[in-house]
Amino acid sequence: MGLVVQKFGGTSVGSVERILNVASRVKEEIEQENNVVVVVSAMGKSTDQLVGLAKEISNVPNKREMDMLLSTGEQVTIALLSMALNQQGIPAVSFTGWQAGIVTEPVHGNARISNINTETIKRQLGEGKVVIVAGFQGITEDGEITTLGRGGSDTTAVALAAALHADKCDIYTDVTGVFTTDPRYVKEARKLLSVSYDEMLELANLGAGVLHPRAVEFAKNYQVRLEVRSSMEKIEGTVIEGEATMEQNLVVRGVAFEDEITKVTVLGLTNSLTSLSTIFTTLAQNQINVDIIIQSTTEGGSANLSFSIHTNDLLETLKVLEDNKAVLGYEQLDAENKLAKVSIVGSGMISNPGVAAKMFEVLASNDIQIKMVSTSEIKVSAVLEEKNMLKAVELLHSAFELGNE
């Protein structure tokens, strides 16, 4: 008998009919004589609806109270799925994140899991029950309810799989696997049979919404066998593993993209050794994630600093910088929004020079201006105008022949 962790996203549990479908997928694993832990998200768009209610009351809702509100969404799903399984004669019990023993750091809205006490889950599994856990949530050492940020149910599932030493973790979603790019926008996009942890981590960080980046981190660190599968179609998905075992001929394995990017420029910084560390320490202390960074020195000896953030963080970023202007020592701030980030990813790039040059050539020859660039061993990212995002994705997908079998 093995142990399987299954995760079902919001679309997969978006109605009673779909919850009954999930129950049937769980039943299939039970019939294979496996113990099963199921992690579920809130139903459909219910999280968005809860956010909408909060926004009707406050443009900047209290983060603690937002966690109290949003954590209720998954509680509905776990109860309904448990009822569905029990109705079919399969013993099941539902737990919120904190009942399941998921302990997080004391950060509201984007907490990280720090520990999982698996005693309760193991006891229930020992009694022959399916354990259903609310994804996306946990509790601090002080008893405060927290949420893990968008996509946090993926992280819950993989973290539980690691803590329980599960044989595998299946992520069920509304697509059939990981594609070379988003098939909703590029019809030539093709499903990959396998992707390495490193490639998936880059794709997830760069905008591919199939898996949450922290989930991939957990999988890589604890060598959790992951498979991204369709909740509606019973077909083979994409395996996430140490090294991709299929399609090794592809230098670039995927094109990721993300909109709502803003470029913030800090002008007239004193050109001291501590300027950079002071700015980014200040932003980090306020839970603001910074992506691409560019620094330049002016003729007068001062420095200009540009960095990219998600547009949702712009107002808070500007406020933090303005509140600390005296300490940071800059002259003025500038922000350019309606930008996007387009990235190519592939472990084959390590041993194949010229990939970045080809990317830049393709964009330049189609009059797409690049505003910022970031590279690593297995990815190249370019920030460009949002209006050119999908055009750039299609061009790069074609140029690197990702639609070819």
C-alpha span between 222 and 69 (Å, rounded):
32
In the structure, what pLDDT confidence band is assigned to residue 246 with cuts at 50, 70 and 90?
low
In the structure, what pLDDT confidence band is assigned to residue 348 with cuts at 50, 70 and 90?
confident
User: 3-state SS of 119-187?
Assistant: HHHHHHHHCCCEEEEECCEEECCCCCEEECCCCHHHHHHHHHHHHCCCCEEEEEECCCCCECCCCCCCC
Q: What is the mean pLDDT of residues 256-271?
A: 92
- The answer on pLDDT for 86 being more than 80 is yes
| Digit-coded pLDDT (tens) for 289-336 | 999 999 988 777 788 999 999 999 999 999 999 999 988 889 999 999
Q: What is the mean pLDDT of residues 93-122?
A: 96
Q: Which residue has the tokens 């709502």?
A: 260
* Residue 177: partners with Cβ closer than 8 Å, 6 or more residues away: 191, 192, 193, 210, 228, 229, 230, 236, 237, 238
Residue 228: what pLDDT? 95
- Give the domain ranges of the chain: 3-174
CATH top-level class for 3-174? alpha beta
Give Dmax over CA atoms of the chain in angstroms.
77
Residue 301: what pLDDT? 76
Residue 209: what pLDDT? 79
- The answer on pLDDT for 271 being more than 80 is no
Mean per-residue pLDDT of the chain:
93
Tell me how far apart the terminal alpha carbons of the chain are, to the nearest angstrom: 37
Q: What is the mean pLDDT of residues 262-274?
A: 85
Q: What percent of the chain has pLDDT over 90?
A: 81
| Digit-coded pLDDT (tens) for 362-387 | 999 999 999 999 999 999 999 999 99
Residue 299: what pLDDT? 76
- The answer on pLDDT for 19 being more than 80 is yes
| Number of other residues whose CB lies within 10 A of the CB of residue 302 | 16
CA torsion sign for 74, 78, 83, 84 is: positive
| Digit-coded pLDDT (tens) for 228-243 | 999 888 899 999 988 7
C-alpha span between 296 and 269 (Å, rounded):
10
In the structure, what pLDDT confidence band is assigned to residue 54 with cuts at 50, 70 and 90?
very high
- What is the identity of the amino acid at 387? K
Q: What percent of the chain has pLDDT over 70?
A: 98
Residue 353: what pLDDT? 84
Residue 387: what pLDDT? 97
Residue 405: what pLDDT? 65
In the structure, what pLDDT confidence band is assigned to residue 347 with cuts at 50, 70 and 90?
confident
Residue 273: what pLDDT? 67
In the structure, what pLDDT confidence band is assigned to residue 261 with cuts at 50, 70 and 90?
very high
